[in-house]
Structure 1
Amino acid sequence: MEEDLTHVRRKRLTTKNGLVCLEDYPYTVSVRLHGKHWCGGAIVSKQWILTAAQCFDYVTNEEVSVRIGSVFRDFGGRILSVIDIKRHPEYKMDQYYPEHNLAMIKVNLPIAPTSRMQPVGLAVADSDLPPAFGETVVTGFGSVISGQIREGENQELRRMIAQEVPRAECRQIYGNDYSLQHDHMCLQSVVKGVALCAGDTGDPAVHFSGLNRAGTLYGIALFSGTEECAYKSKPGIYAKVAYSRQWIDKIIGESPDRTESADSGENAIPLDMD
């Protein structure tokens, strides 16, 4: 399958290990628990990050932070505090395969857009991933080999080019191991041996095309199919962003972005280039 790389702006595209430049995916962040990587996420406005609700079961705001603006998981960019976590009101923590598995987390200061940190556009309400053109890119800081979330030192951002797996086929692959909900979709790498792993929950799945080089966020990673990632054969399961678009818009609308502060730089987050 030939990649459509029209959205890539930098000369250094990717290595055999899938390493990438943050300038190509500047919405990607590391959501951290007790100062260490825990989940992925995507910047969707100047103060809000979209990720998976399951990342915050039995977790308080004070335990969570976000690293933005760095291609490295454990250094660079800026660490922001989290002042609010809003899980989807229909998310049920006591269900094993919950619907509406999305959360919005609010950082303590507005993010001034730069080449390394920008919000990503959201899929139109109730829309599905375009089936016939462009490519879908999943980015994150998760484990590469093992089921250990914080595997390795100085982990760099990686990407996976993925394609959607039909629901019927995905159900057959998982059998009784996972119950797909109405707002779930399945994505699988176009390259064998590459898949979601520990620490990839919350990773954004963004669709790019020649007409949409900035990308549109369609999915948030939920489940990798295996705890031990040495056998990466199953598609990953993602929450459909479009099916919760009204709730996301409501959250952002209830707390308007402080555009004037961010633009002036008075309270916005500055960024040191690595």
Structure 2
Amino acid sequence: MTPKSVGSDLVVFTLIINHILSGISGAATTSKTDLECEFPPKLEEDLTHIRRKRLTTETGLVCLEDYPYTVSVRLHNKHWCGGAIVHKQWILSAAQCFDYVTKQEVTVRLGSVFRDFGGRILSAVEIVRHPNYRLDQYYPENNLALIKLNLPMEPSPRLQPVRLAPGDADRVPDYGELVVTGYGAVTTGQIRHGVNQELRRMMAQEVDKAECRQLYGGDYQLQHDHMCLKSVVKGIALCAGDIGDPAVHFSGGSKGGELYGIALFSGTEECAYKSKPGVFAKVSYSRKWINSVINDSSGTAKDSSES
């Protein structure tokens, strides 16, 4: 066998091996994607995963196509708060995320199931806090803010605005599923830096405000526009970096949900073992303000839930 024929045989052999490996890799990817993109989300009973302490699923991953409104709001290019796309150029989050923060310090990662890579990062050109939000109030009402992005997004299966809850909605409907999504910590007191972290979800339910006040006692003063949500599975809760996370209600088999709450407070106990519900701002109470900001900026009369 001549050197030339040996070289040709090696090329052919390499191509065959690469083709086989590609097929194996492709099959694995397909299987994993199918599992991650399950919809509607099922209630997980398996809490043996190391990240059971927080927004988690049986596999530890969720599919962004199921929650394409979820974003990572970043301070100095590190995850800081959660947020929800409510318009092609606007993100809704918690106002407290921007106390003593300028728009030049804020960016938003959209369209990635991972907190630290993928998707697209856009700059904030405007941050509009609710006019009745008070920085000097320890437990502020109207704790919502809108972030205007430097460019409008192009809607896709991984990038979609979420509809706002009806303006007269005082409680989350008893039917369907309530899902909180975010990129926050799994260990008390820490936002996970230095490693790539994936999007997680928490299946939640509303807690009556009177019961919530009793649970918190003097630890937190609930306001008129606050609501309390807790995980339907023990050992899962909000944690550091989850302020601003959206709580969206899904009904039936439709992928389109409605945004009912924005996370404000995770409680005073360790994230892994907390028994107190998280405190959220009611989006319905500020729907008119959200629409007015977006409509004034865009020069249209569209509802903020439209793209």
TM-score, normalised to structure 1, is 0.87
State the Cα distance separating 1:229 from its structure 2 match.
1.8
Deviation digits for residues 204-245 of structure 1, max 9, x if unmatched? 000001165300000000000036423222100000000000
Q: Gaps (5+ residues) in structure 2?
A: 1-34, 42-55, 301-307
Counterparts of residues 1-274 of structure 1 (less than 5 Å): 10-11=37-38, 15-16=57-58, 18-151=60-193, 153-210=195-252, 212-226=254-268, 228-256=270-298
Question: What's the C-alpha RMSD, in Å, of the aligned pairs?
Answer: 1.9
Provide the C-alpha distance between the structure 2 equivalents of 1:227 and 1:15, rounded to a whole number of angstroms.
Answer: 22
Q: Percent identity?
A: 72
Equivalent position of 2:16 in the other structure: none
Tell whether the 8 Å contact from 1:67 to 1:79 is kept in structure 2 after alignment.
yes
User: Residues 183 and 18 of structure 1: is their aligned pair in 2 closer, same or farther, counting only changes over 3 Å?
Assistant: farther
User: Residues 187 and 10 of structure 1: is their aligned pair in 2 closer, same or farther, counting only changes over 3 Å?
Assistant: same
Helix, strand or coil for the counterpart of 1:249? helix
Helix, strand or coil for the counterpart of 1:255? helix
Which structure features the higher share of helix residues? 2
State the Cα distance separating 1:150 from its structure 2 match.
2.6
Ranges of 4+ aligned residues in structure 1 off by more than 3 Å = 11-15
Tell whether the 8 Å contact from 2:183 to 2:197 is kept in structure 1 after alignment.
yes
Tell whether the 8 Å contact from 2:202 to 2:231 is kept in structure 1 after alignment.
yes
Provide the C-alpha distance between the structure 2 equivalents of 1:119 and 1:167, rounded to a whole number of angstroms.
Answer: 29
User: Residues 217 and 257 of structure 1: is their aligned pair in 2 closer, same or farther, counting only changes over 3 Å?
Assistant: farther
TM-score, normalised to structure 2, is 0.78
Helix, strand or coil for the counterpart of 2:255? strand
Q: Gaps (5+ residues) in structure 1?
A: 1-7, 259-274
Helix, strand or coil for the counterpart of 1:198? coil
Q: Rg larger in 1 or in 2?
A: 2
Aligned length in residues: 251
Tell whether the 8 Å contact from 2:247 to 2:260 is kept in structure 1 after alignment.
yes
Helix, strand or coil for the counterpart of 1:44? strand
